């Protein structure tokens, strides 16, 4: 089965549309979404609705969970955490009962033939697993959640292919919120990331999109800290 795997859309409709256009050119047999669909972007409703139209399995991400069960703000020592919290609250306020109902249909994990999909980890959508995760922690998780040949998760926004004792851990990166450090600050770049999994073959792909469309959407929809948030987006 030729499978297109994507996630961490984060309400970025231009990025989502660009990724889907590129995915169609790859002629996959099936699609799989790893969650975090709406939060932080100017198009939360539209992204949830577009994803629903694809009729594919969707994993529940931590940002999706927060839209269903809002958490009070708390200081954790992360950069821009007050601003990000308010962006999430704005996005949640845009949703209707229709979108809330769709979010409730997302699953903690999804199992396909030989594959286990999740957002952060199969145990907790907020846990980050990746290149630095210890073999011991991965062994603990596999003892609980099964020894599928392929595990695929999101959350870190960092593409990953890690091979361990005959199985693989994958991350497609992020569709709508890729970021990198430039000039001493983090910026969001205009590339939508996903992967194609076809048997043993893994293809990491990127689709470019118009960063000005994202900036315009942020400003026109009067998101919190709109000037600051729009300024965090760069081409490339």
Q: Please give the chain's pLDDT, 236 residues, in tens.
A: 999 999 999 999 999 999 999 999 999 999 999 999 999 999 999 999 999 999 999 999 999 999 999 888 787 777 788 999 999 999 999 999 999 999 999 999 999 989 999 999 999 999 999 999 999 999 999 999 999 999 999 999 999 999 999 999 999 999 999 999 888 788 999 999 999 999 999 999 999 999 999 999 999 999 999 999 999 999 98
Nearest C-alpha neighbor of 169 from the set 141, 205, 192, 191: 141
Residue 187 phi/psi, 5° resolution? -130, 155
| Residue 108 buriedness (CB in 10 A; 0-12 / 13-18 / 19+) | middle
> Among positive and negative, which fits the CA dihedral 176, 181, 187, 190?
negative
pTM of the model: 0.96
User: Going from the N-terminus, what domains does the chain have, and what CATH number goes with each?
Assistant: 2-234 (3.60.21.10)
Output the pLDDT for position 215: 98
Output the pLDDT for position 181: 86
Output the pLDDT for position 216: 98
């Amino acid at each position: 089965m030729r499978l297109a795997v994507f996630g961490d859309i984060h309400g970025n409709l231009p990025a989502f549309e660009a990724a889907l256009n590129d995915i169609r050119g790859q002629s996959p047999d099936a699609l799989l979404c790893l969650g975090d669909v709406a939060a932080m972007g100017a198009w939360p409703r539209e992204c949830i609705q577009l994803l629903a139209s694809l009729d594919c399995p969707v994993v529940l991400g931590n940002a999706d969970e927060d839209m269903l069960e809002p958490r009070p703000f708390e200081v954790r020592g992360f950069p821009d955490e007050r601003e990000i919290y308010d962006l999430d609250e704005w996005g949640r306020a845009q949703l209707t009962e229709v979108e809330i109902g769709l979010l409730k249909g997302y699953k903690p994990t999804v199992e396909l033939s030989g594959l286990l999909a999740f957002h952060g980890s199969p145990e907790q959508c907020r846990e980050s697993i990746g290149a630095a995760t210890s073999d011991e922690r991965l062994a603990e998780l596999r003892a609980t959640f099964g020894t599928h040949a392929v595990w695929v998760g999101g959350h870190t926004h960092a593409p990953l292919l890690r091979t361990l004792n005959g199985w693989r851990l994958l991350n497609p990166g992020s569709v709508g919120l890729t970021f990198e450090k430039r000039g001493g600050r983090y910026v969001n770049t205009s590339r939508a990331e996903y992967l194609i999994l076809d048997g043993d073959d893994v293809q990491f792909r990127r689709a470019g999109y118009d960063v000005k469309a994202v900036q315009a959407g942020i400003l026109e929809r009067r998101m919190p800290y709109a000037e600051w948030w729009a300024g965090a987006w760069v081409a490339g």
